[in-house]
Structure 1
């Protein structure tokens, strides 16, 4: 803890370096830096608590981020993630299994409520998402696009996982409208997921939740699913998005192409 008049640019810069080394995203560091600059500028004027802001010359340009760097997960990776989360944050395991088995977006899984799961017909109705809004906190909001509103079919594996999770919540006397609920009954928020992801990155492997969505799409295409069905499942407005961004040209897909060519020679 530092007193306001003892803060220096060096102290603040080292604080940002610590966050960077702990795996926080560039967007998060940008947000922290903006808060520091705004707060300390206010402390200079009109409050006149200090004469100049030590945050004035802060920047993170020297921090090496490669946001476009590809990260390809495998099915085996996901089972390692499930095992890690089961031990690290048991209630959150269902979050990662829903991601893996449906290809839903992070915000959509956080906003998933029990009344949007049709157990009889094995359908998840994606109708809302959890979003942080300034002044309001984490709130349920409408989906951004028409194509995002969709019904996702699921099989016995996810059905059993959901039932098991529901029974677990009841045994712990956690009664929540949200499927991915915390001990206090509130939904898991993006910030909660980011904390778990940092632990995965620090202790297990490089990991991003969005890469799970890419893995889901790739596995479906590798397995022979129709690209139109995959695109609708992901909530894309066109199949081009699904192919160009989400479906990776894996060795299995390359081998499949060779086999098809060989069969028609």
Structure 2
């Protein structure tokens, strides 16, 4: 708690250094089992509607939120998607990687103050295998498919319009588009030209990459303006799993779609949200079951 509080103050330049930088909880005081500081939640449909009204088509948050809501992908998987991962003809999306942040070399507090949140930071994004090696191909519903088609066409037109001023990204090594048993390196992504161009799905009109860090701003707006402080991007994943469960999808189907390591995680964590729809469906089953008994 102290570490996060001082880090919060440091990031906002309220203090110039944190006295909690090397703070360690004594072993005897550490919990036996790690606990989350914030529980992921199911996002009700009326709240999702407000979110899309606040971040409509054309905003930088629209496509990432749409993908999370309609596919249940993890944060790093969403922002690691490239257009080659989408099969428009077969209405499918392949999860082949995740994107992660490498902080780079240690910087002094003064350097951090000057460069945090800017391109002068020596950190960088890189591709790696999906969590738990959860390579998978999932089907896309018609709504997200249409949104992706429109986004793809828009990016092609923007690329032609901006021409030499369009932002391009490359990775150091060849990208993978299928499961491999080989250990992938930290495949660094930058604007330094290489033979391996990265056609990000999440990008602005000028081609600049919309990174996962923008979710902090999105979440802040949803917390304060839409008055739903429980929101975080990972809750889109929980919501997707719950919606599938509400509509009769099997636990195994949801497990494979979300890329879980085991079925227990799917059942106990991602589909255990008690919603109005689940209650309503349960009551229908209850009445039908006993009405049959009375016939």
Check whether TM > 0.5.
yes
Give the conservation status (yes or no) of the 8 Å contact 1:178–1:186.
no
Cα-Cα RMSD: 3.0
1:67 and 1:224, CA in 2 relative to 1: closer, same or farther beyond 3 A? same
Aligned to 1:12: none
Change (3 A) 1:231 1:191: same
SS of the residue corresponding to residue 259 of structure 1 reads helix
The structural deviation recorded for 1:171 is 3.1
Question: Match for residue 233 of structure 2?
Answer: 209
Q: 1 or 2 for the larger relative contact order (CA 8 Å, sep ≥6)?
A: 2
Question: How many Å apart are 1:26 and its aligned residue?
Answer: 9.3
* 2:267 is the counterpart of 1:243: yes
Alignment partners' CA distance in 2, 1:35 and 1:94:
28
Partner of 1:137: 124
Equivalent position to 1:56, from 9, 19, 37: 19
Aligned-partner Cα distance in 2 for 1:186–1:229: 35
Query: 2:222 matched to 1:200?
Result: yes
Q: Provide the rounded CA distance (Å) in 2 between the counterparts of 1:195 and 1:231.
A: 30
The Cα shift of 1:175 comes to 7.0
1:86 equivalent in alignment to 2:49:
no
Shift of 1:114: 0.3
Work out whether 1:74 is the aligned partner of 2:44: yes
CA distance in 1, matches of 2:260, 2:39: 22
Alignment CA distance shift 1:69-1:233 (3 Å): closer
For 1:197 and 1:241, locate their aligned partners in 2 and report how far apart those are by CA, in whole Å. 25
What are structure 1's unaligned runs of at least 5 residues?
A: 1-24, 41-53, 60-65
The equivalent residue for 1:6 is none
Q: Which whole-Å CA distance do the structure 1 matches of 2:20 and 2:74 have between them?
A: 36
How much has 1:238 moved relative to structure 2? 1.9
With over 3 angstroms needed to count, the CA separation of the structure-2 counterparts of 1:167 and 1:99, relative to structure 1, is same
Query: Per the alignment, do residues 240 and 83 of structure 1 end up closer, same or farther by CA in structure 2, a change over 3 Å counting?
Result: same
* 1:102–1:209 CA distance, 2 compared to 1 (3 A): same
CA contact (8 A) 1:124 1:154 kept: yes
Could you tell me whether the CA contact under 8 Å between 1:123 and 1:152 is conserved in 2? yes
Offset, 1:167 = 1.9
CA deviation map 1:120-167 (0-9, x unaligned) = 111100011110012241111111213x21111012211110111112
Alpha-carbon distance change, 28 to 180 in structure 1, aligned in 2, over 3 angstroms: farther
Alignment TM-score, normalising by the size of structure 2: 0.65
Q: How far is 1:98 from its partner?
A: 0.8
Bigger share in helix: 1
Gap change, CA 1:168 and 1:92, over 3 Å in 2 = farther
For the Cα contact (< 8 Å) 1:104–1:234, is it kept in 2? yes
Question: Does the 8 Å contact 2:81/2:202 carry over to 1?
Answer: yes
State the partner residue of 2:203. 181
Query: TM-score if structure 1 supplies the norm length?
Result: 0.72
Q: Is the 8 A contact 2:202 2:210 kept in 1?
A: yes
Q: Please list, as runs of the form range in 1=range in 2, the aligned pairs for 1:1-265 lying within 5 A after superposition.
A: 31=7, 55-56=18-19, 67-69=37-39, 71-86=41-56, 90-135=59-104, 136-146=123-133, 148-173=134-159, 177-206=199-228, 207-247=231-271, 248-265=273-290
> Matched residues in 2 for 1:26 and 1:234: separation?
34
